[in-house]
Amino acid sequence: MLEADFVIVGSGSAGSALAYRLSEDGKHSVIVLEFGGTDIGPLIQMPSALSYPMNMATYDWGFSSEPEPHLNNRRLATPRGKVLGGSSSINGMVYVRGHARDYDHWAEVGATGWAYADVLPYFKRMETAHGGEAGWRGTDGPMHIQRGSRTNPLYNAFIEAGRQAGFETTDDYNGSKGEGFGPMEQTIHQGRRWSTANAYLRPAMRRGNVRVVRGLARRVLFENQRAVGVEFEAQKRIQAVHAKREVILAASSINSPKLLMLSGIGPADHLREHGIAVLADRPGVGANLQDHMELYIQQEARDTATLHDVLDPISKARIGAEWLLFKTGLGATNHFEAAAFVRSAPGVDYPDIQYHFLPAAISYDGKATAGVAGFQAHVGPMRSKSRGSVTLRSPDPREKPVIRFNYMSHPDDWREFRHAIRLTREIFSQSAFDPFRGKEISPGSHVQTDDELDDFIRNHAESAYHPCGTCRMGAASDPPAVVDPECRVIGVEGLRVADSSIFPRVTYGNLNGPSIMTGEKASDHILGRQPLPRSNQEPWINPRWQESDR
């Protein structure tokens, strides 16, 4: 019989970190159940190839939203990694910890022990930061974090334009100062994508007490309200893996709530509707779904400093060959090398707008280019009040769940998005861009009024691929909470969830970093260890936050 002390479902950002830490002292055995296959090969390992794996059925679960009523009934792609390393193997390799205030908010709404002072030591434990603010960054952790070379002059033009517009600059948004324009950080190491498969899972597997089992998790197995294993399908056979101590779901904010519901944990009426016996009535399972949305604001470039000239097949082949031989050149970056985190209005105490800057005019999935030399900013509000859900389509584990984000369902979202577009135009109009700026490609200078901007948003806003919140962490006495502050599923024993689904509210920026931290911190709770000592470092908050947006 397949058996281990701990059974982890999912080898992604949190799951791989859990496997590494739970096996570290050599006392415990770990089985990681992963449906996807190998991450070996240039399409995943070459950073600049990032648009390929997220569009490939081999590596991606292929989820999409239901028609979104506020976005002209568009179905939006919801990529999730189906491969060793999970979404850390198909993401954009952008590294953002999240703002200190994000975690303080978590603690305020019931995630006791997850304030910034509590989580900062775990971020330090997981990092080896190549650059960044001394004293605020980790120096010997499994996750290598680097900055891009920013040799393209457009990156520095973007940062300088932000400064000219009156905004702060920061040399390390993952350090004490999380507000301003500055270099963007990447999970890239020695020219390769530094996924959690590379950072955590492979070193863990070399210990001999960790193994990966391939299969589709169907449900958690219980005896008298206690999780004892996982039923899974592999080679067209239904099998089981037994957990001597605990089962941990780290299957994503889409698949973790789905597995809970298939196992009888979730909103009782919904489970009964699908003929599933109710083990624990938890109405919060699948609720509280959140995401970041973004738009591409694109500008023609008069200078040839963009990536447009290297998008032809011959240039791509040359870039690929250099990467294969030396792990250097344009293939060794994700091209996200400048960033900004800014506040939308006076009275907002920490940034709620994020920018990724790119010296090309191209869609994130690589499918559509503007056809001309250009540059773009990905911009969007970071704390939308809209909430959605993940529910079962049927009791068949092979069926994709029903994903409803309810994007743009809160009126504040529209006001915030319009502001973000106008702010981007203001930044692109600064003198730093004078040598480069051509005409506006998208939305186009003819799009000016609120109604015109709303129409553009409705037709072009995309997911930034940061879904979270569907197994919310909170006090055990809180009915909508799914897990307690030690990641234990409320109402049963021997089962935890540790991934982005437990986030009470989406953090600012990209979610790979916070998801890895979740796996790191959860491992100490699972092993019954004293959490790392709290930090006494105080983050910078803009002293003008009440009077000004900059």
Which structure tokens are listed for 330? Answer: 């344009």
Residue 166 annotated as binding?
A: no
Determine whether the annotation assigns residue 456 to a binding site.
no
Cα(59)–Cα(61) distance, integer angstroms: 7
The answer to the question of whether 426 is labelled as a binding residue is no
Ligand-binding site membership of 34 (annotated): yes
5 is in an annotated binding site: yes
- Copy the structure tokens of residue 187: 């999970």
Q: Is 98 annotated for ligand binding?
A: no
16 is in an annotated binding site: yes
Q: Is 15 annotated as a binding residue?
A: yes
Active centre residues (catalytic)? 466
How many angstroms separate the CA atoms of 358 and 338, rounded? Answer: 8
27 is in an annotated binding site: yes
Beta bridge partners of 47: none
In the numeric block, which tokens belong to residue 185? 């950080």
10 is in an annotated binding site: yes
512 neighbors 13 (Cβ within 8 angstroms) = yes
Query: In 109-165, which residue ranges form alpha helices assigned H by DSSP?
Result: 116-126, 153-164
Can you name the residues that pair with 295 across neighbouring β-strands? 379
Amino acid at 223: E
Smallest Cα–Cα separation from 43: which of 145, 194, 193, 187?
193
29 is in an annotated binding site: yes
Written as one string, the DSSP assignment of 221-237 is EEETTEEEEEEEEETTE
Burial code (b: 16+ CB inside 10 Å, e: under 16) for 136-164 equals: bbbeebbbbbbbbebebebbebbbbbbbb
Name the H helices within 289-358: 313-326
370 is in an annotated binding site: no
Q: 102 labelled as ligand-binding? A: no
d(CA 341, CA 177): 10
19 is in an annotated binding site: yes
Q: Please say whether the beta carbons of 387 and 406 come within 8 A.
A: yes
231 to 259, 287, 430: CA distances (angstroms) = 11, 24, 58
Q: Is 11 annotated as a binding residue?
A: yes
Q: Which residues contact 517 (CB under 8 A, 6 or more apart)?
A: 97, 119, 122, 123, 126
Q: Which residue has the tokens 């010997």?
A: 140
> Any binding-site annotation on 371?
no
- 462 has binding-site annotation: no
Residues 6+ apart with CB under 8 A from 76: 64, 65, 68, 405, 407, 462, 463
DSSP 206: T
Cβ–Cβ < 8 Å for 344, 197: no
**Measured between alpha carbons, how far is 214 from 99 in angstroms, rounded to an integer?**
36
- Four-residue CA torsion sign, 527, 530, 533, 539: positive
CB 151 within 8 A of CB 476: no
Annotated binding residue 131: no
18 is in an annotated binding site: yes
Q: Does 297 belong to an annotated binding site?
A: no
d(CA 114, CA 107): 5
| Annotated binding residue 48 | no
Q: Is 32 annotated as a binding residue?
A: yes
Phi, psi of 375 (to 5 degrees): -140, 165
Ligand-binding site membership of 71 (annotated): no
Please check if 6 is assigned to a binding site: yes
12 labelled binding-site residue: yes
Residue type at 444 in one-letter notation: G
Show binding-site residues. Answer: 5-34
Show binding-site residues for FAD. Answer: 5-34
